[in-house]
Amino acid sequence: MTIYIICQPCLSVKNRSRPDIIAIILEAANGGITKTKLLTRANLTSGQLRQYLEVLVNKKLLSELSDDYQRHVAYRATEKGMRYLAIYSSLKSIAVFPQEED
């Protein structure tokens, strides 16, 4: 006989959409942030973060900051990135419905 134990907090894990993840990255990078700290804040794998950073830098929502030898790289949200955050926040406040409790 097999017994399965399902922890309650695991059931409430919500999948995040791409716009949600982009907003988390931009919000974290508002004042400048290193890649390591961004990994923790966004709760992404390094491969996932690399893909998001590539898109956000190419779309000019993030700027890449580095020292003279490019050994230390940080990211900062651009004006365009901040506009994205403002629009995202206003749309989310209109479109998101409160979750029902069980």
Can you list the alpha helix ranges (DSSP code H) found in the chain?
A: 8-11, 18-28, 35-42, 46-58, 79-95
pTM score of the predicted model: 0.76
pLDDT digits (tens, 9 = 90+) for 63-81: 998 877 767 889 999 999 9
DSSP assigned state of 64: E
93 pLDDT band (50/70/90 cuts)? Answer: confident
Structural domains of the chain ordered from first start:
16-92 (1.10.10.10)
Look at residue 97 in the predicted model and tell me its pLDDT.
62
